[in-house]
Each structure stands twice: as C-alpha cells, then as structure tokens.
Amino acid sequence: MSEADQDRYRAPALDKGLDILELLAGVDGGLSQAEIAKRLDRSPNEFYRMLDRLVKRGYVARLEGDLYALTLKIFGLAQMHAPTRRLASLAMPLMRELGEATRQANHIVVYDRGHPVVIAQLEAPGYWGISIRVGSRMGLFDTGSGHVLLAFRHPDLREMMVAEHVASGGPEGRMTDAFRARLVQIAARGYEMMPSAQTAGVVNLSAPITSADGQAIAALTVPYITLINTPGAPDINATISALTETARRISALAGGGMAGGEEAYASL
C-alpha cells in the first residue's frame, strides 16, 4: 500500500488517542495536558476531549495536580487475551497432579481491571472440596490470591492495582502499615496462608506463578479443608509444599520462575 493510500485510511482521532496511550506508557508519575501536548508537538486544546474520553473509559486516570497517568485497563485486557488462555492450558495437567496429590481443589487467578479473576479451576478428586467458578471476580484485600498478586508486584504497579480496585467498588483504606508488613512476609516465605473470609473452615493457600523477573502473573490457590476419614490425605504443611512446587513448575512452563524470598522481599 502506498503512502497516499495509507493517508486516505487514516483515523486522526484514533491516532491521537493511541499517541497519548503510548506516551503515558513510558512515563512514571504522569504528565499534565500541557506536557502531553508539548511532547507530541500539538496544541493542548487538541487533547482535552481525547483525554476526557480516555479517563471516562478507564484507560487513563487523572491524578492530583492535573496529571494524567495510564491505568491497568490495557494490562487487564491483555491478561484475558490468548496468553491467559495458554497459561490455563499449560497449567491444567499440573493442577490435576496437585489435586490428586493433595485431595484438594485448586484454581488459578489473574488480575483483571480491578479484581482477581478465576481463569482455571480443578475440582477435588474426592467427595468433598471447595470449588470456585471460572470467571468469578474476587476481592483484592480479603483473599489469598489477591494478597499474592499484590505481594509479588513492583510497588508502583501495586499502588495502581489498589487504586483501580477501589475505583471499581473495592473497599478503601486497606493499604495500612500492617497490611504492607503482611505483604512483605508473604513475599519472604513465598506463599500466603489465611483463613477464608468467605467460607468458615477453609484455609486459603496461595502461591505465585511468576514471570522471569519474579513478578506474579497469576496466583495458584488451594482452598484447603481438613479431610476426616480420608486415608492418605496430606496435612496442611504437605499441601503447602505441593502447592509451591506446582506453582514453581507452572512458572517454568510459562517462561518464568518463582523468586526466592530475599529477591521478592527486596522488591517491596
């Protein structure tokens, strides 16, 4: 296609919006409308309506001081695209092994536009188990999966996740000093263990599935229940060992590897 043909099919408004997104993607802390216009060599008035629409659609956030910053919406859309389906497909055989070894259900959760979302689920092989439907949206602060997704992320990305969660209806004021300290502990030991905030008698065990740089791309979770009169059922400590090993193997398949405690701790 010639340059003239390319110009004929141009969409100036779309180009303008993409220019803004690409610019903000490479900036820390945000830019003002005037700074955006200067860097893109345009008049500030050209970007007012476009920025307003990007904010209303959730792709850009307006911060204090009239700064504009990219949200995690594009990241969330990418998470739900083919790579996420591929992760679920790669993980399922290992999830099945984990279920057989522990006699427990397990599921994988990713972060998507403000909430942890279940993308793969395996029911317990026996009569009893806790299962969560694929597609279920969870809390970021009151689930083991949410804690792991926060603990194994860079601080700036973590703050954006929290802001987006609150903007989508999640509770405010949860990032206290005590909660930050808990995230440090989770990163140091490599997993979360906490009583379920939704179901009595269940202990959520969650471990990160990580990229090559040690950042969580997903969480593998076992909603652990104590099995009575089930010969050979592992106790909770053996289940944690099986869970973390399975998460490590899935990370390797996904092209990453679980960060060690000191490496993850240093990122907080």
> 206-222: per-residue pLDDT in tens?
999 998 888 999 999 99
When pLDDT is averaged across residues 101-123 and rounded to a whole number, the result is: 92
Across 237-254, average pLDDT: 95
pLDDT at 255: 72
Minimum mean pLDDT range among 99-108, 166-175, 197-206, 235-244: 166-175
pLDDT on residue 82? 60
DSSP-assigned letter for residue 45: G
Residue type, 77: L
CATH code of residue 45: 1.10.10.10
E strands in the chain: 31-32, 60-63, 67-70, 106-112, 115-122, 192-195, 203-210, 216-224
Out of 34, 54, 70, a domain closes at 70
List the CATH number of the domain containing 202. Answer: 3.30.450.40
What is residue 28's predicted lDDT score, i.e. its pLDDT? 76
User: Which of the residue ranges 69-78, 119-128, 149-158, 209-218 would you say has the lowest mean pLDDT?
Assistant: 69-78
pLDDT at 91 over 70: yes
Residues 248-264 pLDDT 10s: 999 998 876 544 443 44
Q: Are 118 and 64 members of one domain?
A: no
* 136 C-beta neighbours (distance < 10 Å), count: 14
Ranges 87-96, 124-133, 138-147, 178-187: which has the least confidence: 124-133
pLDDT in tens, 148-170: 999 999 888 888 888 888 887 77
29 and 81 belong to one structural domain: no
pTM as predicted: 0.69
Q: Of the candidates 23, 54, 70, which is a domain's last residue?
A: 70
| Cα–Cα distance for residue pair 37/48, rounded to 1 Å | 10
91 in the same domain as 222: yes
**Residue 85 shares a structural domain with residue 208:** yes
**32 and 50 together in one domain:** yes
Q: What does the chain come to in residues? A: 268
Asked whether 203 and 186 are in contact (CB, 8 A), the reply is no
Q: Please tell me the predicted confidence (pLDDT) of residue 127.
A: 77
Residues 81 and 108 grouped into a single domain: yes
Q: In the prediction, which pLDDT does 132 show?
A: 84
Q: How far apart are CA 161 and CA 153, in angstroms?
A: 10
**Minimal CA–CA distance to 186: which of 198, 194, 177?**
194
| Cβ–Cβ < 8 Å for 149, 264 | no
The token pair that represents 245 in the structure block: 């090993």
Same domain, 171 and 66: no
Query: Rounded to an integer, what distance in angstroms lies between the CA atom of residue 9 and that of residue 18?
Result: 16
**169 phi and psi angles, rounded to 5 deg:** 110, 0
**Structural domain total, the chain:** 2
Residues 196 and 235 grouped into a single domain = yes
Residue 159 has a pLDDT of 86
pLDDT (average), residues 102-115 = 91
Q: What are 178-214's pLDDT values in tens digits?
A: 999 999 999 999 999 999 888 888 999 999 999 888 8
Cα separation, 48 vs 31, in Å, equals 13
Quick one: DSSP state of residue 139?
-
**Which residues span the domain enclosing 41?**
3-70
